[in-house]
């Protein structure tokens, strides 16, 4: 009986400490990757200016070629939405929130499966002479007490390879058209 009481006290203390630490851990996260494309900004913009354009170099299409997608609204304008359903990559939607030609597109991401969450994604273009600097990023929030997981999450390990693959596809597409 003493051993059981000791285990309960230790586990209770551990849970209490985790909850206290989570109070001080940021709830926001941000991840981004940048690449330089050997093409002018207008050429790159054609490959990022709409949800269907983004879809052409999306790394997640490689994970499930049978992904089901649906578009609503006028693609390339604020309010356009693409939703997806997949046994492999889950389900969700992406809605255009901001379009500033030829430098910025921002979207709201809603993930429904496998885990419900929300975030914002953006693609920023900056001319560098005849080249274009492309930054693809994502921001989001982790609710308390799950925000403690950000201490242990390695965003680069979790997302880095997919984002690099997507940016490399974008680079090839943009440079090929140029």
pLDDT digits (tens, 9 = 90+) for 80-116: 999 999 999 899 999 999 999 999 999 999 999 988 8
Q: Among 38-47, 98-107, 168-177, which is the least confidently predicted range?
A: 168-177
Strand partners, 71: 82
The burial class, CB within 10 Å (0-12 / 13-18 / 19+), for 107 is: buried
Phi, psi of 70 (to 5 degrees): -140, 135
Q: What CATH number does the domain located at 28-177 have?
A: 3.30.530.20
What are the strands, taking DSSP E only, across 114-167?
117-128, 131-141
pLDDT tens by residue, 1-40? 788 888 888 888 887 787 777 777 777 888 899 999 999 9
Strand partners, 80: none
Determine the Cα–Cα distance for residues 16 and 88; give it in Å rounded to an integer: 36
Asked whether the beta carbons of 115 and 138 are under 8 A apart, the reply is: no
> Would you say the C-alpha torsion 114, 57, 156, 65 has a positive or negative sign?
positive
Query: Angle at Cα 140 formed by Cα 135 and Cα 144, nearest 5°?
Result: 155
Asked whether the beta carbons of 177 and 45 are under 8 A apart, the reply is: no
Q: Are strands 90-100 and 68-72 parallel, antiparallel or unpaired?
A: unpaired
Asked whether the beta carbons of 89 and 67 are under 8 A apart, the reply is: yes
Quote the pTM value. Answer: 0.81
Asked whether the beta carbons of 70 and 82 are under 8 A apart, the reply is: yes
């Amino acid at each position: 009986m003493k051993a059981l009481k000791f285990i309960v006290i230790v586990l209770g203390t551990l849970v209490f400490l985790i909850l206290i630490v989570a109070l001080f851990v940021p709830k926001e996260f941000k991840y981004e990757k940048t690449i330089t494309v050997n093409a002018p900004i207008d050429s790159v913009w054609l490959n990022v200016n709409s949800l269907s354009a983004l879809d052409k170099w999306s790394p997640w299409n490689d994970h499930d070629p049978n992904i089901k997608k649906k578009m609503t609204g006028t693609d390339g304008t604020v309010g356009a939405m693409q939703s997806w359903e997949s046994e492999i990559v889950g389900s969700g939607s992406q809605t255009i929130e901001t379009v500033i030609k030829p430098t910025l597109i921002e979207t709201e991401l809603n993930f429904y499966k496998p885990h419900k969450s929300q975030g914002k994604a953006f693609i920023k273009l900056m001319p560098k002479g005849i080249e274009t600097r492309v930054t693809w990023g994502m921001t989001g929030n982790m609710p308390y007490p799950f925000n403690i997981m950000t201490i242990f999450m390695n965003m680069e390990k979790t997302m880095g390879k997919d984002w690099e693959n997507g940016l490399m596809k974008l680079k090839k597409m943009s440079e090929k058209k140029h």
